[in-house]
Amino acid sequence: MHLSHQLVIDDRSKTLSFASEFNTICLILSSNDALLLIVNETDRGYLYNVKCRRLIGIHRFEHDVCTIKFSLDSNVLAVISGDMITKIFSVSLLDKLHRFILVSHVCEIVGAFFEQDSLNIMTICKNGKVNYWTADMDLASMELIPYIPSENDN
């Protein structure tokens, strides 16, 4: 099946076309309008560079994805699953952050919000409970790791 998503960024319309056999369950545009993450009903996530209209990568999430949220700087992604787990991923290659998991929620998570210029995150449960998670790493101290393609990359 061929799908298209119409995006409106800075009062301009852009069409991003892609092929998928499954329905889209959630999508999010990064705060800098550069990245679009689309997750389908098989929990496969497609990360696109919006400006180039290119697929950057595909990631198979291991749990039912309910909500996704980019950090304000678009370098970190929170993925909330139906089993009350929030996984935090590094979108860019950061020297100290790859992936970590937030557990011990008592019911379904309905939202996640990153604190500005920080890795601290608030998760909100369906029963109204707010969990505030503090990171022992400072976002400003992390450096981007440049991607060096191997000889086998096209």
pLDDT (tens digit, 9 = 90+) per residue, 130-140?
Answer: 989 888 777 67
Torsion sign over Cα 9, 99, 130, 105: positive
* Coil vs helix vs strand at 129: coil
- pLDDT of 142 over the 60 cut: yes
pLDDT at 151 > cutoff 60: no
Q: How far lies 111's CA from each of 41, 53, 108, 127, 151, in Å?
A: 19, 28, 9, 12, 41
* Local confidence band at 148 (pLDDT 50, 70, 90 cut-offs): very low
The domain locations on the chain are 1-60, 63-147
pLDDT in tens, 10-65: 667 767 777 778 888 888 888 888 888 889 889 888 888 888 888 888 888 877 88
* Rounded Cα gap, residues 50 and 95, in angstroms: 25
Cα-Cα end-to-end distance for the chain? 27
pLDDT over 60 at 4, yes or no: no
Q: Please name the fold of domain 63-147.
A: Thrombin, subunit H (2.40.10)
